Amino acid sequence: MTSPADIPDLSNLWMPFTANRQFKEQPRLLAKARGMYYTTVDGKQVLDGTAGLWCVNAGHGRSEIIDAISRQAAELDYAPSFQLGHSDSFRAATAVTRMMPAGMDRIFFTNSGSESVDTALKIALAYHRARGEGQRTRLIGRERGYHGVGFGGISVGGISPNRKAFSGALLPGVDHLPHTHDLSRNAHTRGQPAWGEHLADELERIVALHDASTIAAVIVEPLAGSTGVLVPPKGYLEKLRAITEKHGILLIFDEVITAFGRLGAATASEYFGVTPDLMSLAKGISNASVPAGAVAVKREVHDTILGAAANGIEFFHGYTYSAHPLATAAILATLEIYEREQLFQRARALSAKFEDAAHQLEEARHVIDVRNLGMVAGIELAPRDGAPGARAAEVFRKCFDQGIMLRYTGDILAISPPLIIEESQIEEIFGKIGAVLQATA
């Protein structure tokens, strides 16, 4: 049992993306994490079905990462990121590059996915300006896209609650492609749905409306995670690539969730065989041990921006903590684990098992869709009358109480475990969800 001494004063912290009042009535506090498990403050073990927030891909408490961070903290706690450097920032950039598609070998470090997205959008505009096409400023996102919480990210993002309170202050000149989620056609698809490629043609419509000469970039998540695991239809990303290329528009893949193994490949770009011009990264880059993010940039884009500048600063952008020594230590140690343990290959090998286990829930009570790719699955529930999201919230709470951590968004459950997961744990997660669904009104 939790003793009152274990529970701190909860009043001062304003929690992000949380129903604060509700949470504080019934707090779920985590105290420790090792391997596949969290331990709560009252000593309960919880199997991590979501790799934290889609980020702890190598599992928790990896000693190699802990050692690297503590060695670095003792050796060089901080180095200014502007006009000075430290060796590991360059080594970390090279290590990230090794996991990127060929040619995407220039790396700009940030501290989060939101910063990576806004950085990528700014690079896109700077690129066109450097080419003498400074009028290309329009940005195109997608409905149900999540690109973090910066003003750039919520502007190109397609989640209305995230935009509503700020609607007067969103970036001007932003359009949205339609999302690709259609249960009437694609319910219970294993892997990529066959229907929906033509939705990429909407980009041609937007281009015709505004003229390509005004459009800087298109940004999409190759697989949308936060809005409920939306797997791209076959041929869809290829088509977006072809249309953007044809019109000189940059393509940005927001791979904050998908990079570093989630789909059983280093990146979604590699998995789908579609290479963007820019890629936003975070989460798995450091196994979430230290906040870190990056933008991977095609060499040509980078060289164009540097080439257009005289002898001064080429890109007026950066963070005090870009390539923070603790982050670069964590990144180097993390990427080494991914490589040494072949975790992306492991994820690919496990993904058939994961798919089978997920789709066992097709007939479970309340389930209207099961979808999956690599080591991520979404289970969509029929909403309860008059209370959208309530059913998934209940399943989430019951699963947590029974020792399984999931995520939910609306009435969609998301499962995205660390890539070190064992087959028996995959069975346990989906089996427990099935049992909880059966016992949920």
**Interacting residue ranges for ligand PMP, rule: CB under 6 A:** 112-114, 117, 146-148, 221, 225-226, 254, 256-257, 282
Toward ligand PMP, which CB reaches closer, 177 or 257? Answer: 257
Residues, the chain: 441
Q: How far is the CB of 206 from ligand PMP (least distance, A)?
A: 21
Toward ligand PMP, which CB reaches closer, 162 or 360? Answer: 162
Task: Provide CB contacts within 8 A for 392, sequence distance 6+.
Answer: 381, 408, 409, 410, 411, 412, 413
Q: How far is the CB of 318 from ligand PMP (least distance, A)?
A: 17
Q: Are the C-beta atoms of 334 and 286 separated by less than 8 Å? A: yes
Rounded CA gap, 73 and 89, in Å? Answer: 14
Q: How far is the CB of 152 from ligand PMP (least distance, A)?
A: 11
Toward ligand PMP, which CB reaches closer, 49 or 113? Answer: 113
Toward ligand PMP, which CB reaches closer, 148 or 264? Answer: 148
Toward ligand PMP, which CB reaches closer, 112 or 322? Answer: 112
Q: How far is the CB of 253 from ligand PMP (least distance, A)?
A: 9
Q: How far is the CB of 84 from ligand PMP (least distance, A)?
A: 26
Tokens coding 119: 């950085």
Q: How far is the CB of 314 from ligand PMP (least distance, A)?
A: 25
Toward ligand PMP, which CB reaches closer, 226 or 275? Answer: 226
Q: How far is the CB of 345 from ligand PMP (least distance, A)?
A: 23
Toward ligand PMP, which CB reaches closer, 361 or 392? Answer: 392
Q: Nearest CA to 372 among 400, 397, 347?
A: 347
Handedness of CA 232, 236, 237, 240 (dihedral sign): negative
Find how far residue 201's CA is from the centre of its chain: 25
Q: How far is the CB of 146 from ligand PMP (least distance, A)?
A: 5
Toward ligand PMP, which CB reaches closer, 146 or 354? Answer: 146
Toward ligand PMP, which CB reaches closer, 16 or 168? Answer: 16
Q: How far is the CB of 53 from ligand PMP (least distance, A)?
A: 6
Q: What angle do CA 118, 418, 54 make, to 5 degrees?
A: 25
Rounded CA gap, 21 and 328, in Å? Answer: 37
Tokens coding 273: 């065989």
Toward ligand PMP, which CB reaches closer, 152 or 434? Answer: 152
Backbone phi, psi, residue 243, to 5°: -70, -45
Task: Provide CB contacts within 8 A for 336, sequence distance 6+.
Answer: 64, 95
Toward ligand PMP, which CB reaches closer, 148 or 228? Answer: 148
Q: How far is the CB of 306 from ligand PMP (least distance, A)?
A: 26
Q: Which residue is nearest to ligand PMP (CB)?
A: 113
Question: Per DSSP, what are the bridge partners of residue 171?
Answer: none
Q: How far is the CB of 223 from ligand PMP (least distance, A)?
A: 9
Q: Are the C-beta atoms of 309 and 87 separated by less than 8 Å? A: no
